[in-house]
Chains A and B, each alone.
Chain A
Amino acid sequence: MRTEEIRNLLDKYYAGDTSRKEEEVLYDWFAQNEVPEEFMSEKAQFLFFQEGRVKKAPDYFIENLESKMEKNPFFRSPGNWLKVASAVALLAISVFIINSLSKEGPIEWKTISTAAGEKQEVVLPDGSTVWLNSRSELRYPIEFKEVREVEMKGEAFFEIQRDETKPFNILSQNTVTKVLGTSFNVRSYDKEDQIEVVVVTGKVAFTAEDEISEESVTLEPGLKATLYKEDQSLIKEENSDPNFLSWKTNELNFDNQELLIVLESVSKHYEIQFAAENEKLALCPFTGSFKELTKEEVIRILSYSLEIDFEFVDDTYVITGQGCTD
């Protein structure tokens, strides 16, 4: 676009007469690197607006909201809900008209968030499926252009349709997970110290980048990449946790595993915390499977089979018991 045309568009803009489409043209034009000196003010304006669009509510804001909402439970007949929810769903579609930075102009994006304890399955425009774990968020365009790119927070399992011509990228915090067609799990909660990717099928390239450096690993089935946020160290290893997908399958299996490991999985799965004073307890072996059980049922089984007691104190299950004999 020539500067002459930009000048004309800007006249219209200052008169308050530009359409949204024309304004998107301006956003894109000013997003380019070399802007003539005469347009400094417009460059600043459009940069500022662009920046304003990506600001997100912080995690603690959402957590706060959630806990207040939970104190205010609500029950209605399903009929009413259907009406309210469908009206709101229509609205939500109009909400996410967000300017993309690509040259092709605006693409509509959708955001799906899950509350604590809630899970959701999402089918993407290319037929790929994403299962979102609790307190997670997935953002994706309603149509994929030359790359398939989505953003996520929290934890999700991806089953990506193979398409050699369109790689699939997942952006999360400062990492990119690139794939052609595979299935794998990404765990990337803001609050946790590390980001983990475990591959089930296919091949995945996982890249962590910050301002100074970029580091990449390629993962095959059964392998796991862990990025420790504190020092940005990236480690590739065998996945040792057979229950890493329990949040999706709702099934935990233990084969002669130490209680410490068992509790780690149970704690992740049910989002609860454990503490024990007697260190001997950590080594007690446990074998068993939990299929679609509630946390209370799991605790009852553990308590019964290992002869230990659980007491719920300040958000934490405190474990007491003798420890095992051998």
Chain B
Amino acid sequence: MEIKDFKSELYALKDKVLRFAFCMMNDSADAEDVAQEVLLKLWSKRDGLKEVKNLEAYAMRMVRNMSLNKLEAPRRRQDSIEDVTLIDQKASPLKVAEDKDLLSIMQSIIQSLPENQRTVVQLRSIEGYALDEVAEITEMTENNVRVTLSRARQKIKEIFDGKYQS
């Protein structure tokens, strides 16, 4: 076991960390800053990491807290959602134009949700965490996570049906 192993493990987290940062910041440049900062902090603090039971949850919690701090700072830019390109869309299975429309509607709906709802949806539905893991990352109770998730899902449906019908 050498440094490179730890490095690869950190690298393995990078996509999740960046996706979550983007979910929080809604701006690709800001998201990249947050993600870099989190990964570098983990890197520089690695001797203390053995005290941490769940490194991934720890990393994701750092992303959220750091993002919330930055969002409170006044000089935040507001990017329009359409302009955001976080990713190279390497393996997108979605070729049909209709699907693309659905995706962009969903993107704007998700971004309009309150932060806690957006967060639990990202962690559960995209990253696939168990409820207790989401609870650990967000520092909410498990029941609270369940309730927030349920509200978020209903709200998504409600807004979508409103938009799609019109």
**Chain A interface (Cβ within 8 Å of chain B)?**
13-17, 20, 23, 40-45, 47-58, 61-62, 64-65, 68-69, 72, 74, 76, 78, 80-89, 91-92, 94-99, 101, 111-115, 118, 120, 151, 171, 173, 211
Given known contacts A41-B160, A41-B161, is B19 in contact with A51 (CB within 8 Å)? no
Looking at B11, B16, B107, B122, the one whose CB has the most chain A CB atoms below 10 A away is B11
Looking at A50, A65, A89, A115, the one whose CB has the most chain B CB atoms below 10 A away is A65
Question: Contact string, B27-56, partner A, CB cutoff 8 A, digits 1/0?
Answer: 000001001100110011011011000111
B6 and A62 form a contact (CB under 8 A): no
The answer to whether the Cβ of B2 comes within 8 Å of any Cβ in the partner chain is yes
Please, could you name 6 A-B residue pairs with CB atoms under 8 Å apart, sorted by A?
A41-B161, A54-B89, A57-B18, A61-B36, A81-B5, A85-B6
B-chain residues with CB within 8 Å of residue A80 when the two chains form the complex: 47, 50
A69 and B40 form a contact (CB under 8 A): yes
Question: Contact string, B6-20, partner A, CB cutoff 8 A, digits 1/0?
Answer: 111101111110110
A43 and B102 form a contact (CB under 8 A): yes
With both chains docked as a complex, state the minimum distance between the C-beta of B41 and any C-beta of chain A, in angstroms: 11
A-chain residues with CB within 8 Å of residue B160 when the two chains form the complex: 40-41, 44-45
- A95 to B15: give the CA distance in the assembly, Å: 11
A17 and B146 form a contact (CB under 8 A): yes
The answer to whether the Cβ of B110 comes within 8 Å of any Cβ in the partner chain is yes
Q: Is the interface of A mostly helix, strand, loop or mixed?
A: helix
B14 and A62 form a contact (CB under 8 A): yes
- A182 to B84: give the CA distance in the assembly, Å: 42
**Which residue of A20, A56, A112, A114 is within 8 Å of B130 (Cβ)?**
A20
The answer to whether the Cβ of B72 comes within 8 Å of any Cβ in the partner chain is no
B7 and A115 form a contact (CB under 8 A): yes
Q: Which of B87-119 contact A (CB under 8 A)?
A: 87-95, 99, 102-103, 105-107, 110
